[in-house]
């Protein structure tokens, strides 16, 4: 895939809001027919109408990415409407705090199912056709949180770490096939997930800014793209901090999470 995406059929999951919505709009402006997937049909229809009004092409597929049958049906409908898929961006994700007493097992299961298996299911819908054509790119929006386990965020961090490792293996496995793999690890982005955060979010950026960086990384064929770089450096350095320091940094967050009030992930 070269520097231009014009004419490439792209699909974005989690396209109803936040990063996914912003990425879909940029891809449409780049000349991509865009497939939009999320659970909220009304928001998808609104976005599709906006893209069409601007001269682009869009198709909608309603699905929960954690449901293999739903994502398969949604991608099939988009393929029928727009043609073979060249670029798949698995962006859909959720985040809920990990609690201790009682352990919120249902939330942990859902986080891993959406964030990890959602990527696996999404990629599986297009990988055979990409391999047959010897062309295409698979992109997953992970998180800098995948590089460091954080108290109160064990499920979220581990789900994103698993995405990173899964894509590492997939990228190497697909060498020589013509199918590329890109892992995107953003920091704090203004989205509905971070809107209720009460703590300081270093490097917080607008969804449109994040989306521009993501599309630029895809066009360049990046293997892994971590941003913003200062927060990425802080995340790497945090692996050397003592556990007691991380516990102190996260103490306010975990006190809030323990009340049962839903909180979005830290990254």
Give pLDDT, residue 187: 84
Q: For the segment 3-49, what is each residue's pLDDT rounded down to a tens digit?
A: 789 999 999 999 999 999 999 999 999 999 999 999 999 999 999 99
Which parts of the chain register pLDDT below 70? 1-2, 188-204, 229, 231-232, 234, 237-238, 240-241, 246, 249-267
Residue-averaged pLDDT of the chain: 88
Q: Assess whether 156 carries a catalytic annotation.
A: yes
Give pLDDT, residue 256: 54
Distance CA 74, CA 192 (A): 24
CATH T-level topology, domain 10-257: Rossmann fold (3.40.50)
Give pLDDT, residue 156: 93
From the candidates 147, 156, 166, 253, give the one annotated as an active-site residue: 156
Q: What is the pTM of this model?
A: 0.88
Q: For the segment 30-41, what is each residue's pLDDT rounded down to a tens digit?
A: 999 999 999 999
* Beta-bridge partners for 207: none
Distance CA 103, CA 117 (A): 21
DSSP 3-state of 252: helix
* Placement of tokens 């979010």 in the chain: 201
- In the chain, where are the structural domains located? 10-257
Give pLDDT, residue 186: 93
């Amino acid at each position: 895939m070269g520097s231009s995406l014009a004419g490439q059929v792209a699909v974005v999951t989690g396209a109803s809001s936040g990063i996914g919505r912003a990425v879909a709009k940029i891809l449409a402006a780049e000349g991509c027919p865009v497939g939009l997937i999320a659970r909220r049909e009304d928001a998808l229809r609104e976005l599709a109408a906006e893209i069409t009004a601007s001269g682009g092409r869009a198709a909608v597929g309603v699905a929960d990415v954690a449901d293999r049958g739903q994502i398969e049906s949604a991608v099939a409908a988009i393929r029928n409407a727009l043609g073979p898929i060249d670029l798949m961006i698995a962006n859909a994700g959720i985040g809920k705090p990990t609690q201790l007493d009682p352990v919120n097992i249902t939330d942990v299961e859902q986080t891993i199912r959406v964030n990890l298996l959602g990527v696996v299911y999404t990629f599986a819908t297009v990988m055979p056709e990409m391999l047959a054509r010897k062309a295409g790119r698979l992109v997953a929006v992970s998180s800098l949180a995948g590089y460091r386990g954080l108290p109160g965020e064990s499920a979220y961090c581990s789900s994103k770490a698993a995405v990173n490792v899964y894509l590492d293996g997939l990228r190497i496995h697909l060498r020589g096939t013509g199918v590329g793999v890109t892992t995107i690890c953003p920091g704090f982005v203004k989205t509905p997930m971070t809107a209720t955060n009460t703590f300081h979010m270093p490097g917080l950026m607008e969804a449109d800014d994040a989306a521009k960086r993501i599309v630029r990384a895809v066009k360049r064929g990046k293997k892994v793209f971590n941003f913003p770089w200062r927060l990425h450096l802080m995340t790497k350095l945090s692996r050397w901090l003592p556990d007691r320091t991380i516990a102190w940094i996260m103490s306010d967050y975990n006190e809030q999470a323990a009340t049962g009030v839903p909180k979005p992930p830290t990254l």
